[in-house]
Structures are given as structure tokens and as C-alpha cells.
Amino acid sequence: MPKLIRVLKSPNNLMKIRKDYNFTGDDVVKILNSDEPGQENLLDGIAVNMDSYVVKRHISRNRIVSQEQIKQVRDKYCMTSYLHTLFLYAILDKLVKSETYNVEFEVTDFIRDLLKPYSSVLLSLDTNEAIISSLIED
């Protein structure tokens, strides 16, 4: 699995600094490919911008004020952004290499741009167990 890298705007001993990844407030993720010769399509890591406008807007619009709830929102944002980036990379990388589809684009750039609007949807999805179980029962 690629390394999850949480990136903050301001320095923190445990996290990377946003300027090191050239993140703006609009950026959500950056895919880090391997530098090893012959391993360019393997992912070394996925950097997630923990101070993106998407997560800040979600917290503000939903009037989330408790530190515990903010932590839950940030954790959900980080997890869903990371996992969806990983899934999308696996799918799109195969499509680009496939002879069935005539598509040519840089997968890492495409996913970076796609996650900007898509991540707000991911935060809005309710992953409540009651909802999931009701879908399974139907």
C-alpha cells in the first residue's frame, strides 16, 4: 500500500508542510510515484492536504465546533480521499494502458484535478451503519 502522507499548512512534528508539496487551498491530493527505474507506475505515497478548502468549508457549513467532531471529519476526509485516490489510480492506470480504450492523459494529474470537486461529495456521504445495513436488507 502507498504511504499516507497528511500535509498541513503550518508545521507539525508529525506531518509534512503544505508548501513542500506545492499545495494550494484547492488541492486535495497528490500522487507520488516511485523513483525506482522500471517501477514508475508504482505508488510510493498519496499526500492528502489536511487544510484544503473542501474540509474547512464542510466544517464551517455544518457548524462543527467540537474538537472531537472536527477530528472525525478530518479523519473521514483523509481516509476517503486516500482510498478513492488509490481506487481511481488502479482503474484509470489500467484504462490508459489498455488497447481497448483510446485515451491518453496523465493519470496522476487527472486524479488530482478530479478529487477537487469529488472530495466534497465524499465528505457529504453518510457512512452511518444504520444506512448501510438498510441498503443491505433491501
What is the pLDDT at residue 122? 83
- From CA 111, how far away is CA 108, in angstroms rounded? 5
**Average pLDDT score over residue span 58-86:** 92
Q: Nearest-CA neighbor of 56 among 76, 70, 69? A: 70
**Average pLDDT score over residue span 43-72:** 92
Q: Which is it for strands 16-17 and 43-49: parallel, antiparallel or unpaired?
A: unpaired
pTM check: above 0.85: no
pLDDT higher than threshold 80 for residue 126: no
Q: Which residues contact 92 (CB under 8 A, 6 or more apart)?
A: 107, 110, 111
pLDDT band at 42 (very low <50, low <70, confident <90, very high): confident
Q: What CA–CA distances, in Å, run from 125 to 37, 73, 93, 120, 132? A: 39, 11, 26, 9, 11
